[in-house]
Amino acid sequence: MATKTDNNRAWLFVIPVVALVAFNALVPLMTVVNYSVQETFGDNLFFWHGLGWFEDILRSERAHAALGRQMLFTAIILVIEVPLGVAIALAMPRKGPWVSVCLVLMALPLLIPWNVVGAMWNILALPDIGLLGHTINAMGIDYNFTQQPIAAWFTMVLMDVWHWTSLVVLLAYAGLISIPDAYYQAAKIDGARGWAVFRHIQLPKMNRVLTIAILLRFMDSFMVYTEPFVLTGGGPGNSTTLLSIDLVKMAVGQFDLGRGGAMSLIYFLITLLVSWIFYTLMTRNESQ
Amino acid sequence: MARIGLSKLSHSYVPDPAAPADWAIKEMDIEWSDGGAYALLGPSGCGKTTLLNIISGLVTPSRGSVLFNGVDVTRLPPEQRNIAQVFQFPVTYDTMSVYANLAFPLRNRGIPDTQVQARVREIADMLELTDQLGRRASGLAADEKQKISMGRGLVRQDVNAMMFDEPLTVIDPHLKWTLRSKLKELHQRVGVTMIYVTHDQTEALTFADQVVVMQDGEVVQIGTPVDLFERPAHTFVGHFIGSPGMNVLPCEIRSGGAFFAGRHIPVDAGIGVPKPGARVELGVRPEFTRFADDGVPVTVIRVADAGRHRIVETRAGDTRINLLVPETAEVPTGDACLAFDPAHTRVYMDGWVSEAA
């Protein structure tokens, strides 16, 4: 009979990982949890507040509105960037000297730091001296993103599309070039053209990379902060105050640590939940 | 179904071909009759896949024409040529069911659903895929996927020819045989012209009525499997077909006779006059070489057991000569003498078999 030997030294191997995870995730997260259930009046004095802040946030119209704007932004971004990215990837050459030119052009926006992108577009869109803003006004359209909510949203979305569509393009392109020539030849012989080739060959082969592209674009656009903040600062009024911007205003601007903590956790849970639902739906579809 | 002709056909992948090496396909004329089973056999890079793609219309030849039933189809795209092609790696539409895969070529051509259904069921039955019709194609094994590829060609009743581009490469060895006999059976049942590209001599010889042997973009011989074995037209054919391949011995022509290692070797047909500087060789298969009391002196190097017979490797000077001997035969050790069957010994000049002038 084999006897099981207990060897507790094995735990030593797990300790580095536990320490790493604790320092980069658990400890910071627990600080937020800590703040979210307490009330402070300064002087490092804290009082137990239970789930009060959570109730507060869940009932707050300000938080609802910010969350709504955040969701609207993400929805617009996904609806524009995913089809546009796929379309650009389809239009890119599959071989030849232009491949590298296209790839470099596509990768350029991704290399620019977030706050630089925000500042760039801010100047570009200024109605008096900005190239974009001035041109739009010169065409007879009244455009001022610092005063009109619609114009602010338009600029914010345009900026994100400019910055991040490339990511979808590169991922979709990687999926496309991995399709062997034989598939296209077989489709030709089977009499399939245009749409049928896209629907039955290209789309299924891009399935995996598109899942990743959508997930990444969802998470990034749902948590986006720097670019819209530098561009509009959340204005005019509150019209472009996304949840992320509102959170910073509350936690850092107003130093409302309890509400900020509660809001952070709710924000985190929503992101996690939606990502999980996305991923489950998309991979379940694949395995059927 | 169609008779397929290639007329003065040649192809190059470079824009201005000059050197012979620029040509992927060197000028050739071939005529294939309707309903035949043909194989294109040759080593990798000999141009057999290019030739197949020219016939199916995926590649347009630089010169010459492709004729289906005498009609020039050289400039027609694949879908208008009504051909079917099975590729090396199984191509299936992964998101569709097996049924939808088989129906795809018919639906693309706007054939009514009732006809599609009847035809798909018939073909699925032939390929023993009926049980799988409802399944998704992505979950199937390579041999089943390859059957679907074949099925997509077979469902179309107007198919002129079916092309196979090394279709058994990714199939497990024990299933290759099954699929090959299935293919042979299908050919007899539907009677469509089939062209099969392979570098595997067993596949070519068992499948085809006629085998086209290619080397460096050139057709070296077209013949039945027996022709290729018994009367190789080129030393390459002799070497490529057969296991082990034909023995090729350097020889001299003196006063109308062939001499190897100073001995006169009787040969099958007459011997032509060699061009000055031509490479002159004798070709004889190991099957037609035997030990004799008197003949070419050799040294036995090694003996390999190959089941029902043994392969004996010998050396005459620098020249290696193989023999096939029955399992039970005595094999001498050390020095021995060899004799060649005159009816199967030929003279080759610059590779090509020499005919009497």
Spell out the domain ranges in chain A: 59-287
Contact A186 B91 (CB under 8 A): yes
Has residue B65 got a pLDDT over 90? no
Has residue A80 got a pLDDT over 70? yes
Judging contacts by C-beta atoms under 8 Å, the chain A residues touching residue B77 are 188
Check whether the bond before A228 is cis (ω within 30° of 0).
no
pLDDT, residue A60, reads 82
B304-325 pLDDT, tens per residue? 888 888 899 998 888 889 988 8
pLDDT, residue B296, reads 85
Q: How many CA atoms lie within 13 A of B278 on its CB side?
A: 18
ipTM score for this prediction: 0.71
Neighbours of B76 (CB within 10 A): 15
pLDDT, residue A147, reads 86
B175-230 pLDDT, tens per residue? 888 888 888 888 888 888 888 898 888 888 888 888 999 888 888 899 898 888 88
At B196, is the secondary structure helix, strand, or coil? strand
Q: Is A182 on the interface with B (CB under 8 A)?
A: yes
pLDDT grade, residue A76 (50/70/90)? Answer: very high
pLDDT grade, residue A3 (50/70/90)? Answer: low
Has residue B78 got a pLDDT over 70? yes
Nearest to B85 among A185, A191, A200 (CB): A185
At A238, is the secondary structure helix, strand, or coil? coil
CA-to-CA dists, residue B210 to B19, B45, B167, angstroms: 31, 21, 18
Calpha distance A66→A57 (Å, rounded): 11
Residue-wise DSSP of A134-189 = HHHHHTT----TTT-HHHHHHHHHHHHHHHHHHHHHHHHHHHHHTS-HHHHHHHHH
Contacts with A, B 145-184, CB within 8 Å = 149, 152
Q: Is A284 on the interface with B (CB under 8 A)?
A: no
**Chain A: closest CA distance from residue B158 (Å):** 13
Spell out the domain ranges in chain B: 4-231, 243-353
Contact A189 B85 (CB under 8 A): yes
Which of A181, A184, A189, A288 to probe by mutation at the B interface, max B CB count within 10 Å?
A189
Has residue B303 got a pLDDT over 70? yes
Q: How many CA atoms lie within 13 A of A179 on its CB side?
A: 29
pLDDT, residue B356, reads 60
Judging contacts by C-beta atoms under 8 Å, the chain A residues touching residue B104 are 190, 192, 200
pLDDT, residue A286, reads 59
pLDDT, residue A85, reads 94
Q: How far is CA A157 from the centre of its chain?
A: 12
Contacts with A, B 120-139, CB within 8 Å = 136
**Nearest residue of chain A to residue B57 (CA atoms):** A189
At A220, is the secondary structure helix, strand, or coil? helix
Has residue A1 got a pLDDT over 60? no
A205-261 pLDDT, tens per residue? 888 889 889 999 999 999 888 888 888 888 788 888 888 888 888 888 777 788 888
Mean of pLDDT values over A3-22: 83
Calpha distance A119→B22 (Å, rounded): 57
**Chain A: closest CA distance from residue B78 (Å):** 6
Q: In terms of Cα–Cα distance, which of A100, A101, A77 is closest to A168?
A: A77
- Architecture of domain A59-287 in this structure: Orthogonal Bundle (1.10)
Judging contacts by C-beta atoms under 8 Å, the chain B residues touching residue A185 are 58, 78, 85, 87
Q: Is B79 on the interface with A (CB under 8 A)?
A: yes
B224-270 pLDDT, tens per residue? 988 888 888 899 998 888 888 899 988 888 877 888 888 888 887 76
Contact B79 A183 (CB under 8 A): no
B8-63 pLDDT, tens per residue? 888 888 887 777 778 888 888 888 888 888 998 888 888 888 888 888 888 888 88
pLDDT grade, residue A158 (50/70/90)? Answer: very high
Contact B83 A180 (CB under 8 A): no
CATH number 3.30.413.10 given to B4-231: no
B329-350 pLDDT, tens per residue? 778 888 888 888 888 888 888 8
Q: Is A178 on the interface with B (CB under 8 A)?
A: no
**Nearest residue of chain A to residue B78 (CA atoms):** A189
Q: Is B352 on the interface with A (CB under 8 A)?
A: no
pLDDT grade, residue A89 (50/70/90)? Answer: very high
| In chain A, % of residues over pLDDT 90 | 24
Calpha distance A139→A97 (Å, rounded): 38
Has residue A288 got a pLDDT over 60? no
Token pair for B207: 């499948």
pLDDT, residue A287, reads 54
A44-54 pLDDT, tens per residue? 777 787 787 78
Q: How far is CA B314 from the centre of its chain?
A: 29
- Architecture of domain B243-353 in this structure: Beta Barrel (2.40)
Contact B93 A201 (CB under 8 A): yes
